Amino acid sequence: MTQRGILAFSGGLDTSVVVKYLQEEYDMEVITVTVDVGQGDDQKEIEAKAKKLGVIKHYNIDARKEFVEDFIFPSIKANALYQKKYCLATALARPLIAQKVLEIAKKENVTALAHGCSGKGNDQVRFDITLRSGSDLPIIAPIRDKNLDRDTELIFAKKHGIEIDSVAKRFSIDQNLWGRAIEGGVLEDPYNEPPEDAFIWVKTKNLPDTPTYMEIKFDKGIPVAVDGQVMEPIKLIEYVNKIAGEAGVGIVDHIEDRVVGIKSREVYETPGATCLIEAHADLEKMVHTKHENKFKSIIDDEWAYLAYSGLWQDPLKQDLDAFIEKSQNPVSGIVKLKLYKSSLRVVGRKSEYSLYNHKIATYSSESTFDQRMAKGFVELWGIQSTEAIKLQKKLSKKI
Ligand code: ARG
């Protein structure tokens, strides 16, 4: 029986090498699937690349709307930043891409599922777990299975006439609507400052001398309008990416703990995500109680951890989703951002669900808050702490 493999194909170095490997080393017919999650590639060009590599069939799937509505929006609701920094752009796209591959795999009666992930990264975890949750077919990952490194891949690509563009030779890039990840090359020394030309989305030079203001309107945790203009989800994210990028906002550079335990230096351009998460988190503080704020930040951290770690469909993640969804009921309002020479600051917020009460908060004569109530409260609030501190002092004198 002819072996037939299906592969999520980006047209980049790894997945191009994998097509050839599947054909030559595994003696397979290959079907490629390119899932558009807003990476901005020319789909026709990628299809041509796949055909040139000799695939028997190629699929192009536009999953941008699903990506925004079912992955990006929930991540905004969760203020999702892995290790407080990374907006999960790559991590969110992988389960969706794998899901699309599975759908076509069923239709095409394939005998194996393939991906181009290495054994060092997180993407293998996200792909394997999603694929395994929906199929028992063997998973083939030639880069991992054959322990291939990038240098060997580049030589292999050259030998097989696979064209790789010059940026891809210097860095390993992954991008979609939610962000652009830049890895490898000179960035592998964590002390090296990223070269300016690594950045495409965020301006680093000749930034405007006047601040840029952006007013983001949320409805139940979802951004629906910017600067008074209601926008479709995809357009809205593209717009915020563009405006924030032009103001120099959205570069992230940090050391990240991968699922497999390796520490990696990651550089990202995430202008839209940086602004939207900052604005959303700020609005939540205004409409949620102190108790909700404290507890939700724990939930948010766990949500980001699970999404990062390939456990998108885990029951715990579903439970957290239910909590987060319910918590978004009052998260409606407008947040005003000020962007100036790469800095981002929330400078205003308003909401009909605001728990901020001017009459209570004000230091002026308009105050309705009777300060005398506070005395007894503070006494009780600190009762155990003050007892413990006094006791510690007493006992330490004895020693
Ligand atoms: N460290 C990020 C993650 O695991 C981004 C990785 C992007 N690079 C890639 N080649 N897939 O989600």
Is-catalytic flag, 321?
no
- Same domain? For 130 and 196 the reply is no
Between CA 398 and CA 387 the distance in angstroms is 17
Q: Which atom of ligand 1 is nearest to the CA of 122?
A: 4
Distance 121 CA to ligand 1 centre (A): 7
| 192 and 286 inside one domain | yes
**Domain of 376?**
358-398
- The answer to whether 200 touches 269, Cβ cutoff 8 Å, is yes
Enumerate residues lining ligand 1, CB below 6 A. Answer: 90-91, 122-123, 172, 174, 181, 183, 256, 266
pLDDT per residue rounded down to tens, the chain (399 residues): 789 999 999 999 999 999 999 999 999 999 999 999 999 999 999 999 999 999 999 999 999 999 999 999 999 999 999 999 999 999 999 999 999 999 999 999 999 999 999 999 999 999 999 999 999 999 999 999 999 998 999 999 999 989 887 777 789 999 999 999 999 999 999 999 999 999 999 999 999 999 999 999 999 999 999 999 999 999 999 999 999 999 999 999 999 999 999 999 999 999 999 999 999 999 999 999 999 999 999 999 999 999 999 999 999 999 999 999 999 999 999 999 999 999 999 999 999 999 999 999 999 999 999 999 999 999 999 999 999 999 999 999 876
Looking at the structure, do residues 102 and 77 belong to the same domain, yes or no?
yes
Let me know whether 344 and 271 are in one domain.
Answer: yes
Distance 244 CA to ligand 1 centre (A): 22
pLDDT at position 166: 74
Residue 164 and residue 235 share a domain: no
Nearest to 139 by CA among 108, 113, 100: 113
Catalytic status, residue 70: no
Residues 159/153, Cβ–Cβ less than 8 Å: no
Q: Which of residues 169, 197, 232 is at a domain's end?
A: 169
Assessment of whether the complete model's pTM goes beyond 0.75 = yes
Place of tokens 């072996």: 3
Q: Are residues 216 and 297 in the same domain?
A: yes
Residue whose tokens read 């609507």: 177
CATH code, domain with 389: 1.20.5
Task: Give the CATH number for residue 141.
Answer: 3.40.50.620
Number of domains the chain contains = 3
Give residues with Cβ within 8 angstroms of 84, minimum separation 6: none
Of the listed 4, 16, 36, 123, which one is catalytic? 123
Is residue 370 part of the annotated active site? The answer reads no
CATH number of residue 260's parent domain: 3.90.1260.10
Q: Are residues 39 and 117 in the same domain?
A: yes
Q: Do 247 and 291 have their domain in common? A: yes
Q: Which residues pair with 219 in a beta bridge?
A: 222
84 and 66 within one domain: yes
Residues 235 and 261 in one domain: yes
94 is catalytic: yes
Residues 195 and 211 in one domain: yes
Residues 191 and 161 in one domain: no
Q: Give the rounded distance of the alpha carbon of 132 from its chain centre.
A: 22
Is the Cβ–Cβ distance between 254 and 261 less than 8 Å?
Answer: no
